Structure 1
Amino acid sequence: MTAPDHHQTSAHPTPMKYVAIAAVLFVVTAIEVAIVYMEFLGSLIIPVLVILSAGKFTVVVMFYMHLKFDNRLFSALFVGGLLLAMGVLITLLVLFRVIVG
């Protein structure tokens, strides 16, 4: 008698799904480039670009780094490291702004 296989299977994207994701990323990048030239947005350009870039980052991490299909532990480790890096970056920016600025 063999032990049941508890290997978790998940449906990884097909090659066509990767092409579709790449096309979406291309379109969003084209929109970002176009937004840079829209002077009427004024001070809204940076927040809009940050939001679009964050969306692209999320899609890349989920699909191309396979975090959407892997164990949640890997996602937690990735997000934890990302939050730590962001915290260090923000702390350094504030520190140097206070000391130098």
Structure 2
Amino acid sequence: MTTVEATDDHVAHDDEHAHDHPTDARYAIIALILAAITALEVAASYIDLGPIFLPALLGMMAVKFLIVVRMFMHLKFDNRVFSWMFYAGLLLALFVYLAALMTFRFFES
């Protein structure tokens, strides 16, 4: 294979995947969605939501995590193994955080 053929293959490969990646406008929309969710998280910290406070914050955190890793880290376009590794990390982090919170709640008297 000559250098020209290798370059042509690389360009063809790039053209093949160019339509998969989001446009700049799509990234701007995603950034606005993330900003809106962050604003909701901040607002929730000022409002007394009672027992749904923690689940609401954890849910918003998980949604933001999934959006960031799928779109900005391009996991949507990578091998599924990488996606499952990140999702497992999210579940582990949630489990550890909830276990720590339950521990403090358990010893609270």
Note the residue ranges of structure 1 that are not aligned, 5 or more in a row: none
Q: Post-superposition shift, 1:86?
A: 3.6
Structure 1 consecutive aligned stretches of length 4 or more whose deviation exceeds 4 Å: none
**Map of 2:38 onto structure 1:** 29
Note the residue ranges of structure 2 that are not aligned, 5 or more in a row: none
Matched residues, number: 89
- Greater C-alpha Rg: 2
CA deviations on 1:11-30 (whole Å, 9 max, x unpaired) are 11111111110000001110
Query: After the TM superposition, which residues 39-78 of structure 1 pair with which residues of structure 2 at under 5 Å, given as runs?
Result: 39=48, 41-78=49-86
The percentage of aligned residue pairs carrying the same residue is 42
What is the Cα-based RMSD across aligned positions, in Å?
2.9
TM-score by length of 1: 0.69
Larger proportion of helix: 2
Alignment of 1:38 onto 2:47: yes
Higher relative contact order (CA 8 A, sep 6+): 1
TM-score by length of 2: 0.64
Q: 1:56 to 1:84 in 2, by over 3 A?
A: closer
